[in-house]
Every structure is written in C-alpha cells, then in structure tokens.
Amino acid sequence: MQISPSILSADFANLERELKAIANADWAHVDVMDNHFVPNLTLGLPVVEALLRVSPVPVDCHLMIDDPDRWAPGYAEAGARSVTFHVEAAADPVATARAIRSAGARAAFAVKPGTAFAPYEDLLPEVDMVLVMTVEPGFGGQSFMADQMAKVRQVREAVGRHGGEVWIQVDGGVSAATIEQCAEAGADVFVAGSAVYGQESAASAVDELRALAERHRHPA
C-alpha cells in the first residue's frame, strides 16, 4: 500500500520544501500537463529534472500530454522512477512502454473515466502499473468518481489472470473518506493532492491515508 502525494496541490513557489514535507511517502506524484491533452498547463521536463535533484522519494510522473510516444522516454532518461502515459494519447503504447522500461523506469498507462480498460488488457505484460483515473484529468481538488471502482475491480481481476506484478493506481479525489473503497476494489498505489497538501501536516496525512488503505487491503 503506497501513497504518492500529488505536488499539484503544493506551493509551487516552494517545491523543494514541499517535497521534503512528504519524505515519509512512497513516491512524489508529478502531474505534467500540456494544455492540449487537458485544459491546464503545469510543468515539463526542465522542472522535473530540478525536482529529481531534491526529491527525498522516487518521482512518479503522470503525463497528461499529447504525443507521449515522443516525450515519455525523456522523463525516464531524466531519472523519474515511474512514467505514466495516457492510452487515449498514445499512438503506439507498446513501443512507448518499452522505451520507458529500457530507460530504466517503471512503465504505466492511464485510462480516463470514460475510457474502458478491456481494450487495453493486452498491454498488461508491457507495464508495471495501471492508473485508473477517478476524476477527469486536468485539475486537483475535484470530487471522487466512485463509479470507477468497477474498473479498478476489472483491472485487479485481469492482473490476477495474467500473473506478474502490476500495481493499480488511483488518482483524483482520493482522501480519508474515499481511500477505503479504492483499497477494497484492489488499488495499491494512491495519489492524493488536496488530501495531503491541503492538511495542516502533509506527513501525518500520508501516514493516515496509508493506515486506512492497509486496513482495507484487497485480498490479493
């Protein structure tokens, strides 16, 4: 059960301090948005490179960008330990996942709430994680979409059938109020932005979320 706080809800004028505040987390989730794939613009490779120099925990890059086939491997080469691209944007997801892996990172694909998982099940052997979005990608602080839990269960079943170790990440609206249902459905990596950086102590929020997830762990 791993917690990956999203720095999208952190203080962008003090990112080093904000990363150090979550040194007890498993990952730091960095949302890259290009204002094309989603209607918001955040940061790109030069800022990720700077974050990699100071982050106390491995960096989990969530690319909400067009043409990830072209850009995703660069994030892995820069040292991001996990790189997630959206299947809706990828022309050749197999080649992109392989390029990420050969650059030394864990590869993952993400599906938006309106995207079915079944057509992408064949990609499971190519990736280390599947990200099931629990909000429409683009912004932090949105309401959790509980109807996506059926998809998390589907992915969990498919991972069971295929064997191998593929993590299941949820992202969007994950909080103390919603993390239990995610864990019960089979998620094991939890992104939380406002539920970590919106709290008085980000580190305590991480510990609390992890403890809640552990208590509701899906029976493997």
Name the residues that contact ligand DX5, by CB under 6 A.
6, 8-9, 29, 31, 62, 135, 137-142, 171-174, 191-195
Instruction: Look at the alpha carbons of 131, 125, 164, 22 in this order and tell me if their dihedral is positive or negative.
Output: negative
87 or 195: CB nearest ligand DX5: 195
Quick one: which segment of 28-36, 97-105, 113-121, 151-159 binds Zn ion (CB under 5 A)? 28-36
In the block, residue with structure tokens 């944007």: 89
8 or 149: CB nearest ligand DX5: 8
Restricted to residues 152-171, the positions that interact with Zn ion (CB under 5 A) are 171
96 or 134: CB nearest ligand DX5: 134
Residue 13 CB, nearest approach to ligand DX5 (Å): 17
- Catalytic residue from among 34, 60, 128, 171: 171
Q: Is 171 a catalytic residue?
A: yes
Q: Tell me the β-bridge partners of 131.
A: 110, 169
Alpha-carbon gap, residue 113 to 151, rounded angstroms: 9
Position 188 contacts Zn ion (CB under 5 A):
no
189 or 212: CB nearest Zn ion: 189
Say if residues 130 and 169 touch (Cβ distance below 8 Å): yes
The alpha carbon torsion through 129, 61, 34, 144 (nearest 10 deg) reads 60
In this structure, the number of other CB atoms found within 10 A of the CB of residue 143 comes to 10
Residue 163 CB, nearest approach to ligand DX5 (Å): 29
Structure-token pair, residue 59: 């960096």
Say if residues 123 and 115 touch (Cβ distance below 8 Å): no
Q: Is 31 a catalytic residue?
A: yes
Interface residue list for Zn ion (CB under 5 A): 31, 62, 171
Residues classed as catalytic: 31, 171
